[in-house]
Chain A
Amino acid sequence: MKTENTPAPAAAKPKVAFFDFACCEGCQLQVANIGETLLDVLGAIDVVEFREVMSEKYDQDYDVVIIEGAITDHHAEERIKGIRARAKVLIAYGACATTGGIPGMKNSFVLDEIRASVYGKDYKLFDSTPTRPIHQVVKVDYYIHGCPIYPPELIEVLKCALRGLPYTVPDNPVCSECKLNENVCMYERGVSCLGPWTKAGCNSWCVNNGNICYGCRGEVKNPAKNAANDLIAKYNLKPELIKNKFDMYNKCKEADTK
């Protein structure tokens, strides 16, 4: 470990830090929402920085960094590069970090136009770049998707990251979980839903509660295009309606080079 100069008991536990970029900080809050289980987690790791709930600062290398938020200005770009250089393992945490999330909606507009619409003629006082998820700026080792993240998945990924094991994000559509939860299909209820195209792993959280899937976990790698076309035809959907819905969380995907 690079932290060999620190006293043995403290060095025995992996050094973990949380950092936030442009986001609502709700995924950090999900950490506090796991209740007393948090103390078990804190027993296994040494949280050295977590600005939202801690004043402590740390100046050495990190074993694991958990990054929340999207990169939306030059200052953030430099900051995430600095953090990456000091981190052995980087986890992109929550939709803003993994897909660009809601801040990515900005990319549907001409940048100068949307900046001026909010700040008026002085908009250039606020630096703003097109929104990018973390992997479009630095290397990401693990992904925890969702807006907000699904707490059981956080624990799973942490276990893998701390042991150096790979974690595979489910790549089947939300529908596969939704069916097991015995929900009536939202299409049958008269509204369109992004479940057929969106990565599972949330246990169809939104549909279980009567709402539609908004696609916050990102698109599955290999969507069933023919089935999707059938669906669009069967329910007489406007393709632009589906595209518009997708752009709420997945606009940044257009900049992925693959």
Chain B
Amino acid sequence: MTTENKNLDIKVEYVTRVEGHGNIVVNVKDGKIEKCEFHVVESPRLFEGMLRGRSVFEAQHITSRICGICSCGHSLASIQAAEDALGVTPTPQTIKLRKLLLDYEFLDSHLLHIYLLAAPDILGVPSFVPLIQTHNGVVRRALRMKKAANDVCDILVGRHVHPISAIVGGFTKLPSPKDIDAQIKILESMADDLAETLALAKTLKFPDFHRETEYVGLVSDDGEYPLLMGDIGSTDGKRIRKADYKKATNEFIDPRSSAKFTKLSRESLFVGALARFNLNASKLHPKAKEVADALGFKPVCHNPYLNTVAQVIETVHCYYHALDILKDLKKTGLDYKQAVTVGVNEKGAVPVRAGRGVGSVEVPRGILHHCYETDAAGIIKQADCIIPTNQNINNIEYDFAKLLPEIITLPKETIRLRLEMLVRAYDPCISCSTHYLDVTFVD
């Protein structure tokens, strides 16, 4: 350790280019690391409390507003929990359309993260704005692809931020044959840009850092890369039914820091693209497997910075998976009688019962759980939402603890950037945070 970093004090208030508010605090005194923490400072919005007394049919609309980036994912987890509580089984057509919606969510969110949030670090600039001058073509491509992902979502569910037509029971509006064609056309128009994205991905260099941890995500027995449905599995061999999701999230308080942490088989766990890749790489679309091979990316990968690379691979998977679904729908056609009108179900279109339901869905940042308990009228008595970022914070701190001694001799600014990059690699979505036990504000 060099003398210049014997005393190091880093405080990053409001980490930028992430969703929500988080701070990094590093304190090194006389060569000893006293503190290296990631704090969540999001204003609590008390979603779980606000859901009480609301109809389970309103839960999708409300919980979609937990997060603007993952609003489709929250909608799908919410719908799954509500239908589980009500005992509603979605039709195969509805499941297919929900999988398509989730593919779009991944495309949109991963592209945003890869290009606008993560890439500036790798290219050494503070944001995409300077890239407008230096890498105009790349920025234009990013915005074009982002818009395309957004446009297909608009056609399918009305809009991407807070989807309109995906509700409990199915879809309020089903895509017409023209809508299916339009989505295929938009996706196909992205092909060249996607190829350019892969070429770009091959040139990106990431910090070399490894730490073994437990990777957690959905697992299933069929051959499809599980995103919408499955059990909760881990690289340490755990398999848990979603009804028992609390066993997989084990929320606990740690004296090291103030946020509510999660663990499963060891001190911390990782959820997100890298976890899914590590668990289910063999089930990726053949086109995505080709890309993984070309990038030399193999499970199990222990470098959290490469979560961004796993996102690139998943972008390819979701792109081709979505196209497959669309072409299948084009061939078989849709049953338009399945369109639903529910509102808050005031006319009793869906039978209601008292119950408890869990929705466990992979969203871009990792596995997301919603759980509702309802009374006989379908009114929510108790709600619990466990978001991916919440599950990753503990892992981020363990990464910090291993990373900091490895980079302590580097200039202070480089250390700060490496730590920020690590946080951003997890693609945290802090505004999603629905509950934390305590928060420490940095002066």
Contacts and interface: CB of A to CB of B under 8 A. Distances in A.
Interface residues of B, number: 68
A105 interface: yes
A55 B438 contact: no
A250 interface: no
Interface string A39-57: 1001000010011111110
B164 A209 contact: yes
B58 A128 contact: no
B62 A39 contact: no
Given A36-B143, A39-B139, A55-B16, 9 more contacts: A24-B431, A27-B161, A33-B146, A51-B16, A125-B439, A128-B46, A190-B349, A209-B157, A214-B61
Interface string B1-23: 00000000000001011111000
Interface string A98-132: 00011101101100001101111010011010000
Nearest to A73: B43
Contact of B62 (A34, A38, A54, A102): A102
A101 B68 CA distance: 14
B343 interface: yes
Interface string A47-73: 100111111100000000000000011
A210 B173 contact: yes
Most interface-central of B52, B161, B441 (chain A CB within 10 A)? B161
B292 interface: no
Interface string A65-88: 000000011011000000000000
Contacts of B341: 186, 189-191, 210
B68 A34 contact: no
Given A53-B128, A148-B68, A114 B158 contact: no
A28 B117 CA distance: 14
Contact of A125 (B45, B339, B438): B438
A128 B16 contact: no
Interface residues of A, number: 67
Interface string A200-242: 0000011011111010000000000000000000000000010
Contacts of A120: 437
B349 to A, nearest CB: 8
A162 interface: no
Most interface-central of B19, B67, B68, B167 (chain A CB within 10 A)? B68
B69 interface: yes
Contacts of B16: 51-52, 54-55
List the 9 closest pairs (A to B, CB-CB), nearest first.
A26-B68, A210-B172, A191-B343, A35-B147, A209-B158, A54-B127, A210-B173, A55-B126, A114-B49
A221 to B, nearest CB: 25
A248 interface: yes
A210 B339 contact: yes
B334 interface: no
Contact of A128 (B44, B52, B143, B339): B44
Contacts of B346: 190-192, 241
17 contacts: A21-B43, A23-B68, A24-B67, A29-B112, A52-B19, A53-B127, A55-B16, A72-B45, A108-B50, A118-B49, A126-B44, A147-B162, A189-B341, A190-B341, A191-B342, A211-B158, A214-B61
Contacts of B65: 24, 26, 101-102, 147
A152 to B, nearest CB: 13
A248 B62 contact: yes
A22 interface: yes
A109 B437 contact: no
Interface of B: 14, 16-20, 43-46, 48-50, 52-53, 58, 61-62, 65-69, 71, 112, 116-117, 120, 126-129, 132, 139-140, 143-144, 146-147, 150, 157-162, 164-165, 167, 171-173, 339, 341-344, 346-347, 349, 431, 434-439, 441
A105 B147 CA distance: 32
Contacts of B140: 36, 39
Contacts of A135: none
Nearest to A68: B68
A105 B66 CA distance: 13
Contacts of B126: 54-56
A52 to B, nearest CB: 7
A26 B165 contact: no
A210 B439 contact: no
B116 A32 contact: yes
A118 B58 CA distance: 19
